[in-house]
């Protein structure tokens, strides 16, 4: 294993983090850039805000983030959600923001604005989501974390939900992320090791409406930010290694009031599946980059060109969980989204297709 490039010196930093900062608060403004990555910078506040409405609008150089041309580079940050800061502690906060151009319209990278309109239109149906974020860990050399430098680990089989040396990698890093999410207020509901060694998954939800995208993006930020300290690079690429290895998805669990209603739920689920089938290619178009490398019909995926659905079928586009089929109500799982999908786009199109007749 290579020398990891850890950037945090706990022994040097700790005395400074222990210093009294009075009533002033550090607010880390976080946004999504023009390439689907994350950026951040910090503002000092005179006091802790009571709500997101008390936070100031800010701006940044969009020409450096692929969000604006150099001759008109200001992009504005509008705060939309507050989380506790697990890195600085105390009253310090993480602030998730939307990006707007100087004419007041959403920046090209801002998929949240449209998603918010969709969720507001469907609010009476109470759309709930739970997203399963898979990802792969890499070390400083670009090698899958913990893998032999001159070869490969044993075939897939013992790694999924595994226990023991040689089967599980970087559990300390994973536990740090889990606890940071809980502290921050992210609605993280679980974790597990995945099928490929050094591939992991965390689940966020259930969240209603726009909160799903907010919470998943913040969980991603925390994962990348903690990676700085371990010298680990999490990857959201849907097929980080070619060959006989599982890809990485973002399985999207979805339900409405009708789907969750005993006696009526299964009919609503089946109706939603019919609507999803009709717009299969439109969904694939917004379900993540390089998803064709993952949706091959192998490794627990459906073919990218063919829509399918079934009870307990992990090789289908849409899976109805076994217990949902048995009890006749609950939710469906869309297994098509790639691990790098924008959660605002996947949740918006699920609601548009099934509830708003787009």
94 and 131 both lie in a single domain: no
Per-residue CA distances from 61 to 18, 58, 98, 184 (Å)? 32, 11, 14, 27
Prediction pTM value: 0.96
Rounded CA separation 34/15 (Å): 37
Structure tokens at 202: 């965390």
Angle CA(133)–CA(333)–CA(313) in degrees, nearest 5? 110
**Are residues 90 and 129 both part of a single domain?**
no
pLDDT digits (tens, 9 = 90+) for 311-336: 989 899 999 999 999 999 999 999 99
Same domain, 165 and 86: no
Evaluated on CA atoms 32, 38, 43, 49, the torsion sign reads positive
How far from 265 is each of 269, 326, 357, CA to CA, in Å? 6, 11, 19
Q: What is the DSSP letter of 154?
A: P
With both helix axes pointing from N to C terminus, report the angle between 112-121 and 343-355 in degrees, rounded to the nearest 10.
30
Residue after which a domain boundary falls, among 64, 88, 109: 109
Tell me which residue range forms the domain holding 33.
22-109
Residues 156 and 265 in one domain: yes
Boundary residue ending a domain (74, 109, 144): 109
- Number of domain units in the chain: 2
Specify the pLDDT at position 153.
87
Q: Closest Cα partner for 332 from 312, 349, 346? A: 312
Q: What's the CATH code of the domain at 294? A: 3.30.590.10
- Six token digits for residue 358: 């787009």
Report yes or no on 83 lying in a domain.
yes
Is 149 contained in some domain? yes
CATH number of 56's domain: 3.10.20.70
**In percent, how much of the chain has pLDDT > 70?**
98
Q: Are residues 142 and 206 in the same domain?
A: yes
Q: What is the pLDDT of residues 343-358, one digit of tens each?
A: 999 999 999 999 997 5
Q: Are 111 and 345 in contact (CB under 8 A)?
A: yes
Last residue of a domain, one of 77, 109, 141: 109
Whether pLDDT at 2 is above 50:
no
DSSP of 3-57: PP-----HHHHHHHHTS--TT-EEEEEEEE-TTS-EEEEEEEESS--SSGGGSPP
pLDDT at 59 over 80: yes
């Amino acid at each position: 294993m290579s020398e990891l490039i850890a950037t945090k010196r706990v022994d040097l930093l700790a005395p400074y983090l222990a210093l009294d900062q009075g009533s002033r608060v550090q607010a880390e403004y976080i946004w999504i850039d023009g390439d689907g990555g994350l950026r951040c910078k910090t503002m000092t506040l005179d006091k802790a805000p009571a709500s997101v409405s008390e936070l100031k609008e800010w701006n940044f150089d969009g020409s450096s983030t692929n969000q604006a041309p150099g001759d008109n580079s200001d992009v504005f940050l509008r705060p939309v959600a507050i989380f506790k800061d697990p890195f600085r502690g105390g009253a310090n906060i993480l602030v998730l923001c939307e990006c707007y151009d100087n004419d007041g319209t959403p920046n090209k990278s801002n998929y949240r604005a449209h998603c918010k309109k969709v969720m507001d239109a469907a609010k009476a149906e109470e759309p709930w989501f739970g997203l399963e974020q898979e990802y792969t860990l890499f070390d400083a050399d670009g090698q899958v974390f913990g893998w032999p430098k001159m070869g490969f680990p044993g075939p897939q089989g013992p790694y999924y939900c595994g226990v023991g040396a040689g089967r599980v990698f970087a559990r300390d890093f994973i536990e740090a992320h889990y606890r940071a999410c809980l502290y921050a207020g992210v609605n993280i509901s679980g974790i597990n090791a995945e099928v490929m060694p050094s591939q992991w998954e965390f689940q966020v939800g259930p969240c209603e409406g726009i909160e799903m995208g907010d919470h998943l993006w913040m969980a991603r930020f925390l994962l990348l930010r903690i990676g700085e300290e371990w010298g680990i690079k999490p990857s959201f690429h849907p097929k980080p290694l070619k060959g006989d290895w599982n890809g990485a998805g973002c399985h999207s669990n979805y339900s409405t009031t009708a789907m969750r209603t005993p006696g009526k739920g299964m009919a609503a689920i089946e109706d939603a599946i019919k609507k999803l089938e009709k717009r299969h290619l439109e969904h694939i178009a917004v379900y993540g980059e390089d998803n064709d490398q993952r949706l091959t019909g192998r490794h627990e995926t459906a073919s990218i060109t063919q829509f399918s659905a079934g009870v307990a079928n992990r090789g289908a586009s849409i899976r109805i969980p076994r217990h949902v089929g048995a009890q006749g109500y609950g939710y469906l799982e869309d297994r098509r989204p790639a691990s790098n999908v924008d959660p605002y786009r996947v949740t918006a199109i699920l609601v548009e297709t099934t509830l708003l007749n787009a």
